[in-house]
Chains A and B, each alone.
Chain A
Amino acid sequence: MGAVTFDEVTKKFGDVVAVDRFSVRIEDGEFMVLLGPSGCGKSTALRMIAGLEEVSGGILSIGERVVNNVAARDRDIAMVFQSYALYPHMTVAKNIESPLAANRKVRLPAAERATRVAEAAEILGLTDYLGRKPGELSGGQRQRVALARAIVRRPEVFLMDEPLSNLDAKLRTQTRLELVDLHRRLGTTFVYVTHDQVEAMTMADRIVVINEGRIQQVGAPQAVYESPANLFVATFIGSPPMNLISGKVSASAGGSVEVTTDAGTVTSTCSASLSKGADVVVGIRPEHLSLSETTSSGKGLRAKVENIELLGHERHVICSAAGSKIVFRQANDAAPVALGQEVTLDAEPDGTHLFDPTSTQRLN
């Protein structure tokens, strides 16, 4: 079966640790996205599954088989590269057929190969282009040829390394949906590497957030978004990013914590009991802030409007509050605010996250 298990897997290039003790199990049939900034080790992790990089330590398995020492061609995986890596001198048909014909020892009969190529071309709408060479195709068509070359071998695991990054924005949105659809039809494990949080949120069953070679959080997109495990995940996922303000715990009782910051006081839902006076970082997403109706309660964050971004369906209001930048969202039919206006912002207690400033871990 096509489950992929990382057990304390490490990859070193000389003294540089690219992947640091990865432990995660990608379930059979799952669409798993490895998400992180460039250079975080996500591509290296993918390339280890492919067999293009050796594992420096730990155990990597595909299905029940340990593949640390299995050659790439024997791993029963297929990979879609960022550049598509189509063979420029071969026709689309020959490109798609390549994984079936390349290895002489396990080559399928010609008739069987032709059927499989026709089938893959049919699935990806390439039947009319089989005789062309990659140079005569558009970016989107080349991308589909790369996908066809991957599905034709019916692998246990599909690996995709930023396959959409060479497409224009419109085509990328469309292809995202097609990939999700393809995953549903095939029911095979997909491991997908991207730095684009939108791709991760829209396509993944689960996301592995990676930074500096380490796994930061593993979870369903919504769970990762709603309760980020640490400050990195909190700021990496979400656009505009989560607002962060430093403060001290001023009261903690009955499942809620009150934090006093330089800009004002906020309340957070928190089951843990925090000691009074402890330093915390408060994180609030822009949609969890709203203009306060009453300015006299003493609660809320005092801020000054510095800029307003109009997006058509909503506005992003950028404010400064005691030296920190705070962004909040407003529906476009809400009463407009003016530049320079002093406002008080209320934060939803359920949407107010608390992090430890030293360990950066989540507290509530």
Chain B
Amino acid sequence: MSDIPTTSTEATAGSPDAPAMPVPLGKGVRRFGRRLSDSALAYLLLLPSLIVFGVFAYYPLYRLFWYATHHQSRFRNRPATYVGFSQIRDTLTGTDFKDGLLHSGLFMVYTVPLGLILGILLAVSAHRRLKGIKIFQTIFSSTVASSVAVASVVFLTLVNAEIGYFRDVSWLSLKNPTSALFAVSLSAVWQNLGLTFIVVLAALQTVPDELIEAATLDGYGAIRRFFKITVPTISPALLFLAIVLVVFALQAYAQIEILTGGGPSGGTETLLFKIADPSGVRSLGEKASLSLGLFVLTAVVAGAQFGIMSKRVHYGD
């Protein structure tokens, strides 16, 4: 929105006759008038998106902040009281937030690298010109088309403590808090695999054959060629996936609800799960404070990824 006024200001200042001779009054007024109507038009054009953002982003953010700074009884008949930042401070330093942070962090650590590596491996193995390769490409990308709920139920038949196929596999047990979190993470990895596969495969297909051939002639072996030439070329897609997978991890809810319901003994309650609070043990103010914590965490992680990786990501010509 600042583009149009700035440009016309520059045009006025930069015109060659401006410093040398006094600008006739009429000309200046006309310019000012045009600038005014230009910016009016600009604001008018921006209005729809401002309204959308206002209603669906800024106002909810404001309400979030309002809830976080007010204490509200779980029984809504009493009015909320303003408590300043004390509720936010108490919540974000409490064990509930720390546990949620730990579980969300572990969920991220389990899902993001594993998801990326598996997706790349699958995509690389399916990226060749063979008869019938389309069948494999379809199978590998099929999880994209299944909803989280369906996928989680499918996974449940594998890891269910009573009837699951893998019920005796200790590191997938839903009875133990540590292994339960890992099992839930694995289901998320599996669900995201279709997306990771498709994005990496699409990126691989944009790498020109001649680039790989040139690298072959230069003397790169297959593995070094992959890491020195292919990976840098598809790095924007990998950065995109890393960010998306982190956001998915921080937003994971349905698979936790379906597989463990947050248990055993809160061992799979991630930050978002605590905010959603299906059993309703937290007050609105506490949940708003947790949300603020998650908001800041997401922003910091995404920002850090951009910061660290953008130096190593190459965006073509």
Chain A contact residues, CB within 8 Å of chain B: 50-52, 72-73, 77-79, 81-83, 85-89, 98-99, 102-104, 106, 134-135, 149
- Closest 8 interchain pairs by CB? A103-B219, A135-B317, A85-B214, A89-B314, A102-B219, A85-B210, A89-B232, A73-B219
Residue B296 interfacial (CB < 8 Å): no
B236: min CB distance to chain A, Å:
11
Closest to B229 in A: A87
Q: From residue B217, how far is it (CB to closest CB) to chain A in Å?
A: 5
Given A85-B210, A135-B316, A135-B317, A72:B216 Cβ within 8 A: yes
Q: Let me know if B66 is at the binding interface, CB within 8 A.
A: no
Q: Does B186 have its Cβ within 8 Å of any Cβ on chain A?
A: no
- Which A residues touch B214, using CB under 8 A? 79, 81, 85-87
Q: B229 contacts which chain A residues (CB < 8 A)?
A: 87
Which of B111-151 touch A at CB < 8 Å? none
A89 to B233, Cβ gap below 8 A?
yes
- On whether the beta carbons of A88 and B218 are closer than 8 Å, the reply is no
Establish whether residues B233 and A81, one from each chain, have CB atoms under 8 Å apart when the complex forms.
no
Which of B211, B213, B214, B221 has the most chain A CB atoms inside 10 A of its CB?
B214
Known contacts A89-B232, A89-B314; A79 and B217 CB within 8 A of each other: yes
**Chain B interface size range:** 20 to 34
Contact between A82 and B210, CB atoms less than 8 A apart: yes
Query: Can you report 20 residue pairs joining A to B where beta carbons are below 8 Å apart?
Result: A52-B213, A52-B217, A73-B217, A73-B220, A81-B210, A83-B208, A86-B214, A87-B215, A88-B233, A88-B317, A89-B232, A89-B235, A98-B218, A99-B219, A102-B215, A102-B224, A102-B228, A103-B219, A103-B221, A104-B224
Q: Are A77 and B217 in contact (CB under 8 A)?
A: yes
Known: A88-B314, A88-B317, A89-B233. A83 touches B219 (CB 8 A): no
Contact in complex: B211, A102 (CB < 8 Å): no
Q: Please, which residues of chain B bring their CB within 8 A of the CB of A79?
A: 213-214, 217
Contact B211 A85 (CB under 8 A): yes
Query: A99 to B215, alpha carbons, bound, how many Å?
Result: 8
Pick the contact of A83: B210, B218, B221, B316 (CB < 8 A).
B210
Q: Which residues of B contact A72 (CB under 8 A)?
A: 216-217
- Number of A-B pairs, beta carbon distance below 8 Å: 64
| Bound-state Cα–Cα, A135 to B229, Å | 16
Q: In the complex, what distance in Å separates the CA atom of A99 from the CA atom of B214?
A: 9
Give B155 Cβ to nearest chain A Cβ, in Å: 38
Distance, CA A51 to CA B208, complexed state (A): 18
**Chain B contact surface mostly:** helix
Residues on A with beta carbons closer than 8 Å to the beta carbon of B218: 73, 98-99, 102-103, 149
Distance in angstroms from A198 CB to nearest chain B CB is: 24
Q: How far is the CA of A269 from the CA of B232 in the complex (A)?
A: 64
CA distance A103 to B235 in the complex (A): 23
Q: Does A106 contact B219, Cβ atoms closer than 8 Å?
A: yes
Q: CB-CB < 8 A to B221: which residues of A?
A: 103
Per the 8 Å Cβ criterion, residues 46-83 of B in contact with A are: none
Contact B217 A78 (CB under 8 A): yes
Query: Are A85 and B219 CB-contacts (below 8 A) given A102-B224, A135-B316, A135-B317?
Result: no
Residue from the set B208, B219, B220 with the largest chain A CB neighbour count within 10 Å? B219
Measured CA separation A106–B224 after assembly (Å): 15
Q: Using a CB-CB cutoff of 8 Å, which residues 186-224 of chain B contact chain A?
A: 208, 210-211, 213-221, 224
Rounded to whole Å, the gap between the CB of B282 and the closest CB of chain A is: 48
- Residues of chain B from 214 to 266 with CB closer than 8 A to chain A in the complex: 214-221, 224, 228-229, 232-233, 235
B217 contacts A87, C-beta separation under 8 Å: no
A163 to chain B, nearest CB (A): 12
Are A88 and B316 CB-contacts (below 8 A) given A81-B210, A82-B210, A102-B224? yes
Q: How far is the CB of B223 from chain A (nearest CB, A)?
A: 11
* A contact residues around B216 at 8 Å (CB): 52, 72-73
Closest to A98 in B: B218
In the complex, chain B residues whose CB is within 8 Å of the CB of A85: 208, 210-211, 213-214
Across the interface, which residues of A come within 8 angstroms of B233, CB to CB?
88-89
* Contact residues in A for B235 (Cβ distance below 8 Å): 89
CA distance A178 to B250 in the complex (A): 59
Choose among B210, B215, B229, B235 the residue with the greatest number of A CB atoms under 10 Å from its CB. B210
Besides A79-B213, A103-B218, 6 more A-B contacts (Cβ < 8 Å) are A50-B213, A51-B217, A87-B215, A87-B232, A98-B215, A149-B218
Residues of A within 8 A of B232 (CB): 87, 89
Separation in Å of the B298 CB from the closest CB of chain A?
Answer: 29
In the complex, what distance in Å separates the CA atom of A52 from the CA atom of B246? 40
* Nearest CB of B to A107, in Å: 9
Whose C-beta in chain A lies nearest to the C-beta of B313? A89
Q: Which residue of A lies closest to B212 (CB)?
A: A85
Q: Which residues of A contact B317 (CB under 8 A)?
A: 88, 134-135
**Docked complex: B292-317 residues within 8 A CB-CB of A:** 314, 316-317
Report A-chain residues with C-beta under 8 Å of the C-beta of B211: 85, 87
Q: Which residues of A contact B220 (CB under 8 A)?
A: 73, 102-103
Residues on A with beta carbons closer than 8 Å to the beta carbon of B316? 88, 135
Q: In angstroms, how far is the closest chain B Cβ from the Cβ of A212?
A: 24
A82 — which chain B residues lie within 8 A by C-beta?
210
Nearest-Cβ distance from residue B147 to partner chain A, whole angstroms: 38
Q: How far is the CA of A87 from the CA of B316 in the complex (A)?
A: 10
Collect the chain A residues with CB atoms within 8 Å of residue B228's CB.
102
Assembled-state Cα–Cα distance A51/B218 (Å) = 12
**In the complex, what residue of chain B is closest to A74 when comparing beta carbons?**
B219
The complex places the Cα of A125 from the Cα of B215 at a distance, in Å, of 24
Give the shortest distance, in Å, between A203 (CB) and chain B (any CB).
Answer: 22
> When chains A and B are docked, how far (Å) is the Cα of A51 from the Cα of B314?
30
Q: How far is B218's CA from A324's CA once the two chains are assembled, in angstroms?
A: 52
Q: How far is the CB of A133 from chain B (nearest CB, A)?
A: 8
Chain A nearest Cβ from B205, distance in angstroms:
16
Output the nearest chain A residue to B213 by Cβ-Cβ distance.
Answer: A52
